[in-house]
Amino acid sequence: MLARAAATATLSFAWVLAVGAEPMSVTDFSSVEIQIIEPGDIVDLDGQVLGRHDGIIHFTVGQRRGLGIAAPEPLYVVRVEPETRRVVAGPKAALLKDKFQIGDINWLGGGQRAETGLEITVKVRSTADPVAACLESLSDGEAGITLAEPQAGIAPGQACVFYAGERVLGGGWIRREN
């Protein structure tokens, strides 16, 4: 049963990595699966190797437990880099973000989105309180979000839902930083 759950998790994670990418062949899919279960390095914010891991599938942004690294202060997963199989760890302050990009937007607000900025509230976690933000339209289906207050644990692949008061205006998927 555990092996089946691990296989399902591996496949699910691989599909999340493929969001927004061109359709994948079976060969491509297999290489993504291998990347997320292969060992790699755990590095600090400067790229210094702190330790090793058994696969990036075991990590998520904001995670504190399970790094297996002794440090003077608690370390958190700040970023996961599938291309290099690296997990980047740092202090809690490194998790804070006030800007990010979203894509594959589903706009429910009617009319045109503001090109110069629209004051909204956003949620990046279903259980979190909405946070004041500004929505900047970048291109068709893509936008930038600037938060009034930095938030921790914003990660690629998470949903971002935007509101005007209680009304849902739309949502999209948080993009990986370039």
Residues 31 and 107 in one domain: no
pLDDT tens, residue by residue, 130-141:
999 999 877 778
Q: Is the pTM of this model over 0.85?
A: no
Evaluate whether 37 touches 45 at the Cβ level (below 8 Å): no
Do residue 46 and residue 62 come from a single domain? yes
Would you say 161 and 122 are in contact if contact means Cβ atoms under 8 Å apart?
yes
For residues 105 and 159, give the distance between their C-alpha atoms in angstroms, rounded to a whole number: 10
Is residue 33 located within the same domain as residue 109?
Answer: no
Structure confidence at residue 2 (pLDDT): 46
Write down which residue in 41, 59, 94 finishes a domain.
Answer: 94
User: Are 77 and 26 members of one domain?
Assistant: yes
What is the average pLDDT across 88-105?
95
pLDDT of 25 over the 80 cut: no
Q: 56-76: per-residue pLDDT in tens?
A: 999 999 999 999 999 999 999
Same domain, 40 and 120: no
Do 56 and 70 belong together in one domain? yes
Looking at the structure, tell me whether residues 67 and 129 fall in a common domain. Answer: no
Q: Indicate if 90 and 149 belong to the same structural domain.
A: no
Of 43, 60, 94, the last residue of a domain is 94
User: Residue type for 42, please?
Assistant: I
Contacts of range 35-38, beta carbons closer than 8 Å, 24 or more positions apart? 35/82, 35/83, 35/85, 36/10, 36/82, 37/10, 38/85
Domain that holds residue 137: 95-174
Q: Are residues 122 and 146 in the same domain?
A: yes
Examine the fold and report which residue of 94, 115, 141 is the final residue of a domain before the chain moves on. 94
Any idea what the CATH number is for the domain that residue 141 is in? 2.40.30.10
Distance CA 174, CA 100 (A): 7
Q: How many domains does the chain have?
A: 2
Looking up residue 41, the CATH number of its domain turns out to be 2.30.30.280
Close Cβ partners of 129 (under 8 Å, ≥ 6 residues apart): 123
Same domain, 78 and 131: no
Say if residue 73 is in the same domain as residue 115: no
| Same domain, residue pair 67 and 151 | no
HSE-up of residue 39 (Cα within 13 Å, Cβ side): 4
Q: Terminus-to-terminus CA distance in the chain, angstroms?
A: 38
State mean pLDDT over 8-30. 47
